[in-house]
Amino acid sequence: MLNPATEEVIALAPCGSVADAEAAISAARAAFDAGPWAAMSVGERVRYLQKMYDVLESRVAEICELIVLEAGAVQSNARARQFDIPMKHFRRFLELVSRQDVRAIAPELTRGAGAGTVLGTAFVVREPVGVVAAITPYNYPYFLNVVKVAAALITGNTVVLKPSPYTPFEALLLAGAAAEAGLPKGVLNVITGGKEAGERLTTDVRVDMVTFTGSDQVGAEIVAQSAPTLKRLVMELGGKSALIVRADANVKMALGQALRGFTSHAGQGCAMNTRVLVHNSLRKEFVEQLATMARAVKVGDPRASDTQMGPLIRAAARERVERYVALGVDTGAKLMAGGRRPPDLTRGFYYEPTFFDNVESQSVIAQDEIFGPVGVVIGFDSDDEAIRIANDSRFGLRGGIISADVGRAFEMACAIRTGGVTLNGGAGTQLSDGPFGGVKRSGYGRELGEDGLNEFTQTKLIEIQAG
C-alpha cells in the first residue's frame, strides 16, 4: 500500500481472490443460518459489540495515524471527522437497538361465520435481513467501515466487508477488533481485493443485501449485478451539491463553507458543496475573497499539524482532476485559483485548491462529480433561479443555504430535490439520529440513526385470533 503523501510503500496487504470471497460468503452464511448470532437476544449482541467498541476506542492514536497514512487525511480531519463521528454513531446504534423489536398493532373486530365476533390482532416483528455485503470506498474508509458494520451486526446480520484496494488496513483493523471482542466465527469477515472479488459479493445468491458507498457509475453496475438475485440494496452514491448564498447572507460564514466545500480532505467527499451559487449582488467581491482564501490554504504532508489539505489518494485521481480543470478552461470558465500541482511538492499526489467563476450550470465541471479540490461559482438573481440551478443536476445528495431569513431558507430547502440541506452551516456535527442518503443518481436507502438501522431489518407480520 502506498502513502499518498509520499508515494512510499506503507506495507504489503493481502489481495483476496474470488475463491477468498466465496469462502467469506460461506462463513457468513453458516454463521447466520446455523450460528448463534441471529438467535441471540439484543442484549447479548450489545455486550459483544460494546467490547468491540471499547477495543477501537483504546486504539484511537493508532487508528488516526493509519487514517493519515493510508487515506491521506490531515490530522484534524482524521480525528474529528473520520474517527470521532463514526464512533458516536456506533454508540448511538447500541442505544437505539434496545428499542422494542416486537410491537402489537390495534385489534379489529370481525363478524364470524356464525353469530359470534372474532377479535383479531397481530404482532410486527423486526428480523435481520441475513448476510450483508458492505463495500466501502477510499475517502472515509474507517468511518464507513464502522457505521456499516456496526449497524448490520447490531441488528443480527452477518457481514462480509470489502474495502477499497487503496485502503485495506482500516478494514483489517476492524476485523482484529471483532476477534479481540470475541465475536463468534463467521459473524464479521473481511475480504480485500479488486473488482472480481467485489462482483462475487454482488452476484452470489447467498448474499441477501449489499450496502455500497461509491460512485454512481459503480453503483449502477452493482444494481445490475444484484438484480437476478433480487438483493436488498442501500446505495450511497455521488454528489454535486449546491451551496446557495442569498443576498442577505453572512458572507464570512458563506466563504468558510464554500472553501471547505472543495478543500476538505482534498475534495474527496460525496456530500461536499462543490457548486457555490452566489447572488449576483455579492458575487464579484465574494469570488475575489474566496480566491484569496483558496491560495492561502496550506497544502502538504498531512502528518504536519499545520497542514490544511493533504493529497489525493493516487496518481489516477489527480490526473482525473487535471482533465476536468483543462475542460473548465477550454469551455470558457474563469480560473480564479489553483489549477496546478504545487511546485514545491514533488512527491505525493497533491493538487492546489482550485475554483472557477463564470461557470454555466450545464457545463461539464458544474455537472460531473470531480472528486478533487475543484469548486465552481455560478451567479443567480432570484430565489427561484437558485432553486432551479440547484436542481439542475443528475445528483441529489446534499445542499446548503446561507441566509439571514431562515424561514425563507427553509422554504427553499423544501423545494430542492436532495437528501439533505444545511441552513447557515447546519447543526455543527453529523447528528446521531439524522438519516443520511440521497435521491436521483445519489442513490437510495438511508444510513445512520434509526432509519439506517431499519435498512438492515425486515418486518414479519404474525397474526393471531383471540379466544
Q: Specify whether 44 is catalytic.
A: no
DSSP classification of residue 265: G
**β 443-444/232-236 pair status:** antiparallel
Q: Which of 170, 236, 369, 455 is catalytic?
A: 236
Pairing of strands 242-245, 399-402: parallel
Is residue 70 annotated as part of the catalytic site, yes or no? no
User: CA 158, 181, 193: angle at the middle one, nearest 5?
Assistant: 50
Where would I find the H helices in 264-405? 280-296, 315-330, 364-367, 383-391
Q: Could you say which of 64, 270, 352, 447 is catalytic? A: 270
Per the CB < 8 A criterion, the answer to whether 242 and 398 are in contact is no
Residue pair 27/186 in contact by the 8 Å Cβ criterion: yes
The residue among 372, 366, 354 whose CA lies nearest residue 394 is 366
Place of cell 452551516: 425
C-alpha cell at 368: 460531473
Ordered strands of the 354-357 beta sheet: 334-337, 354-357, 374-380, 275-279, 242-245, 399-402, 422-423
Q: Provide CB contacts within 8 A for 169, sequence distance 6+.
A: 1, 10, 11, 13, 66, 70
For residues 269 and 143, give the distance between their C-alpha atoms in angstroms, rounded to a whole number: 12
Residues 6+ apart with CB under 8 A from 286: 245, 251, 254, 255, 278, 377
Return d(Cα 217, Cα 236) in angstroms, integer: 12
Q: Are 52 and 177 in contact (CB under 8 A)?
A: yes
| Distance from C-alpha of 214 to C-alpha of 220, rounded to nearest angstrom | 10
Q: What is the DSSP string of 218-243?
A: HHHHHHHHHGGGT-EEEEE-----EE
Confirm if 4 and 312 have CB atoms less than 8 A apart.
yes
Burial of residue 311 (number of CB atoms within 10 Å: 0-12, 13-18, 19+) = buried
Inter-residue contact 250 to 453 (CB < 8 Å): no
Radius of gyration (C-alpha) of the chain in whole angstroms? 24
Asked whether the beta carbons of 314 and 279 are under 8 A apart, the reply is: no
Q: Please list the active-site residues.
A: 236, 270
